[in-house]
Amino acid sequence: MSNRLVESLAGAAVIAVAIGFAAYSYSRAGIEEVEGYEISANFNRVDGLNVGNDVRISGVKVGTVTSQDLNPQSFMAVVKMSVRSDIELPADSSAKIASDGLLGGKFIALEPGGDIDMIAPGGEVQYTQGSVNLEDLIGQVIYSTTNSDK
Segment 131-148, tens digit of pLDDT: 777 777 778 888 777 665
Residue 19 and residue 102 in contact, taking contact as beta carbons nearer than 8 Å: no
Q: Residue 117 burial by CB count (10 A; 0-12/13-18/19+): exposed, middle or buried?
A: exposed
One-letter amino acid at 119 equals I
- How confident is the model over 9-54, as pLDDT tens digits? 888 888 988 888 877 776 666 555 567 899 999 999 898 899 989 9
pLDDT at position 23: 77
- How confident is the model over 69-105, as pLDDT tens digits? 999 999 999 999 999 999 999 999 999 999 887 677 8
* Phi-psi domain of 36 (left: phi exceeds 0; alpha: psi -120 through 50; beta: other): left
Instruction: Tell me, yes or no, if the pTM score tops 0.85.
Output: no
